[in-house]
Structure 1
Amino acid sequence: MSFIKIIRPFNCLFVAVSVLFGAYFSSMQSNLSAIIAAAISAALIAAGGYVINDFFDLRIDVINKPNRILPAGKMTPKTAYIYAVFLFWIGILVSILTQNIYCIGIALLNSLVLFQYAKKLKQSCLTGNILVAYAAASTFIFGGLSNNNVKNSLVIASFAFCYTLIREFIKDSEDIGGDKVNGAKTLAVIVGEKKITIISIIPAIIIIGLIQYYFFNQQLMQTTFIMLNVFVTIPLIGFFVYLFRKPVKSSFAKISSLTKLNMFMLLIIIWIGK
C-alpha cells in the first residue's frame, strides 16, 4: 500500500488525463497507441518525481508532514530512492513507444528536471516554482506532440503553467515553518507569507487575461467564454479574497485544493466547448 500511496495515484491519474486532453485538444484525428504510451509515460515519470521529492524532503517533512510514508517509517529512504529511479527509467522507456523523438526528449528532460528540482532547486528562490510549473504545462504539450500537433495544446499549457505557479506559491507559504528550519531559500521564506500571497495573484490575473484573450482571438466560443468567467474567473477571485481575509496555514491548504479544482473546471468547460 505504501508503494501506491507515495506516488500520489490521483495526481498521477490527473497527469495521464492531462496528456490525453492535450492530445485531444491538438487534433481530432488521433494516433491512439502513441497517445496511450505518452499518458502512461508521463504518469510514471510524475510518480518518480513524487517519490524522489519525498526522499529529498524527508527532514522537512518530519516537521511539516510527519504522517507521510517516509517520516512515518513505512518505507526506508533507500527503497524510496530505488523506486523513484525505477519509475523514471520505465517512464522513459515507455515514451519510446510513441515513436516521437520530441516525446522521448521531453521524457528525458522532465525526469532530469524533477530529480534536480527535488535534490536542490526546490529550495532556491523562484527557480523551483518555475520548473514545477513547466513540468505541469509540458504534460499537455507532451500529449499534443504524441498526436503530431502541438499548436493547440499550447493554449491549455499556458493555463496549466499559471495554475501550477499559484499552487506552488501557496504551498511555499504552507511549508514555510519547516523550510525556515532547514534553511531553504524559497520565495515565501524570503519575502514572507503576506507578500507571497500578493505575488500569487499575478498568475491568477494572467489566467483571467488569457480567457479574455483567447475569446477575442476567436479561439473560444461565446458560450464557453461565459461559462469560464462564471465558473472559473469569479471563483478564482473569491479564493484570493478569502485568502487575504484569513491568511493562515489551514487557508493555504484549502485554497491549494480549490485551485486544482478550479483548473479541472476550466479543462472540462474547454473540453465541452470544443
Structure 2
Amino acid sequence: MNYIKILRPFNCLFVAICVLFGIFFRNLTLHSYNMVFAILSATIIAGAGYVINDFFDLPIDSVNKPNRVLPSGKIKPRSAYLYAIILFILGIILSFLTRNIYCVIIAIINSILLFFYAKTFKMNFLIGNIVVAYAAGSTFIFGGLSSNNFTNSLIIAIYAFLYTLMREFIKDAEDIEGDIKFKANTLAIKLGRKKTIFASILPIAFIIVFTIYLFFSELILLSTFVLMNVFVSIPLIFFIIFLFKKISKKKLSLISGWMKIDMLMLLIILWFGK
C-alpha cells in the first residue's frame, strides 16, 4: 500500500486525464491500444517523478513532513530510489508501444528532467519553474502525438505551460521563507516576493495574447472567445490586482487554488466550444 501511496495516486490520475484530453480534444475517435500505452507510460513516469522527488527531499521532509512514507520509515530510501528508476524504465518501455517515436523521445526527456528536477533543478533560479511548466504541457502533447492529434493538443499544451508557470511563480512567492531556510535559489529569493508576483503578469499577458491569436486565426468561435475572456482572462487579471493590494502568504495560497479552478474552466470551455 505504501508503494502505491508514494506515487500520489490522485495526481497520477490527473496526469492520465490530461493525456486523455490530448488524445480526444477535437478528435473523438478511438485509437486502439496506442491510447492505453500512452496513458500508462505518462502516468508511470509521473509516479516515478513523485517517488524520486520524495527521495531527494527526505532531509527536508524529515523535519517538515515526518508522516510521509519515506520519513516515517515505511519504505527504505534505497528501495524508493530503485523503485523510481524501475518505474522510469517501465514508462519508457511502454512509450515504445505507442508506435510513435516522438512519444518515446518525450518519455525519455521527461524521465531525465524529472530526475534532475528532484535532484537539483527545483532549487535553481527559474529552471525548476520552467521544467514543471514544460512537464505539464508535454502531458497533453504526449496524448496528442499518440493519436495523431498533435495540432489540437498543442493548443492545450501552451495554455497548460503558461498557467503552470504562473502558478509556479505564485508558489515561489508563497514558499519564500521555507526556501530561504533550505538555501534554495528560487525566483522569489532572487527578485523578492513583490517582483515575483509582478513577473506572473507575463504568463497572463501571453495567455490573453494567445487567446486573441486563436480567435483571429479562426481556431475558436466568437462565443468561445467571449467565454474564455469572461471566465479565464479577466479573473486572472483580478487575481493579480487582488494580490498587489496586500501581499500575504494566505492570499498567495488562495490565489494558487483559484488558478486551478480557472484552468479547469479553460479546459471545459475549450472542450465544449469550437
Are the aligned partners of 1:44 and 1:88 in contact in 2 as well (CA < 8 Å)?
A: yes
CA contact (8 A) 1:61 1:178 kept: no
Distance in 2 (alpha carbons) for counterparts of 1:181 and 1:240 = 27
Percent identity (aligned): 56
Match of 2:83 in 1: 83
For the pair 1:133 / 2:160, whether they are aligned, the reply is no
Query: How do residues 15-26 of structure 1 correspond to structure 2 at under 5 angstroms?
Result: 15-25=15-25
Structure 2: 5+ residue runs without aligned partners? none
CA distance in 2: counterparts of 1:160 and 1:198, whole angstroms: 20
TM-score, with length taken from structure 2: 0.92
Go from structure 1 to structure 2 and tell me whether the alpha carbon gap of 1:260 and 1:45 turns closer, same or farther (over 3 Å shift): same
- CA-CA distance at 1:214 after TM superposition: 0.7
* Greater mean alpha carbon deviation, residues 55-64 or residues 258-267: 55-64
Q: Distance in 1 between matches of 2:91 and 2:246?
A: 41
CA distance in 2, matches of 1:62, 1:251: 27
Aligned to 2:171: 171
Q: Is the 8 A contact 1:7 1:47 kept in 2?
A: yes
Q: Secondary structure at the match of 1:219?
A: coil
- What TM-score comes out, normalization by structure 1 length? 0.92
- Amino acid in structure 1 at the alignment position of 2:20: L
Q: List gaps (5 residues or longer) in structure 1.
A: none
Aligned length: 274
Could you list the per-position Cα deviations for residues 153-187 of structure 1 after superposition, in whole angstroms to 9, with x for gaps in the alignment? Answer: 11111101101101211222232223212221111
Indicate how the Cα distance of structure 1 residues 146 and 242 shifts in structure 2: closer, same or farther if over 3 A, else same: same
Does the CA-based 8 Å contact 1:26-1:144 persist in structure 2?
no
Deviations 1:249-272 (A, max 9, x none): 222222222212211211111011
Could you tell me how far apart the structure 1 residues matched to 2:202 and 2:139 are? Answer: 23
Is the Cα contact below 8 Å between 1:130 and 1:165 reproduced in 2? yes
Deviations 1:17-69 (A, max 9, x none): 11111121263444232122111211111111112112212233345545543
| 2:211/2:225 contact within 8 Å kept | yes
Instruction: Confirm or deny: 8 A CA contact 1:60 1:178 kept in the other structure.
Output: no
Segment of structure 1 superposing worse, 227-236 or 65-74: 65-74
The residue aligned with 1:42 is 42
- Secondary structure of the residue that 1:144 maps to in structure 2? helix
Could you say which residue in structure 2 is the equivalent of 1:237?
A: 237
Q: Secondary structure at the match of 2:254?
A: helix
- Deviation string 1:92-122 (CA, Å, 9 cap, x unpaired) is 1221221111111111111011101111111
Question: In 1, distance between residues paired with 2:55 and 2:242?
Answer: 34
Question: Take 1:229 and 1:209, find their aligned partners in 2: how far apart are those partners?
Answer: 11
Q: Is the 8 A contact 2:22 2:149 kept in 1?
A: no
SS in 1 for 2:148: coil
TM-superposed CA distance for 1:215, in Å, is 1.1
